[in-house]
């Protein structure tokens, strides 16, 4: 998935996705000058970040 697609799925800005990639919180593959994020990595990140409220 492209950074823009990940941002749309997660409903965050592209800059937030770039921060997650650069910090290592979300794995990504560099293709030329852009990043590609495996779809499963996005689902895993969302699942692991889920916080249940009272």
pLDDT tens digits for range 20-35: 999 999 999 999 999 9
What would the mean pLDDT of 35-44 be, rounded to a whole number? 96
The set of residues, in sequence order, having a beta carbon less than 8 Å from that of 4 and lying 6+ positions away, is 14
pTM for the whole thing?
0.84
Q: Provide the 3-class DSSP secondary structure of residue 14.
A: helix
Which alpha helices (H) appear in 1-54, and where do they start and end? 3-10, 14-23, 39-49
**pLDDT(52) > 80:** no
Residue 19: how many CA atoms within 13 Å on its side-chain side? 6
Rounded CA separation 20/9 (Å): 14
């Amino acid at each position: 998935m492209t950074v823009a697609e990940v941002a749309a799925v997660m409903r965050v800005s592209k800059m937030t996705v770039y921060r997650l990639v650069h910090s290592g919180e979300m794995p990504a593959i560099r293709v030329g000058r852009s990043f590609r994020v495996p779809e499963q990595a996005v689902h895993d990140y969302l699942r692991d970040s889920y916080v249940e409220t009272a």
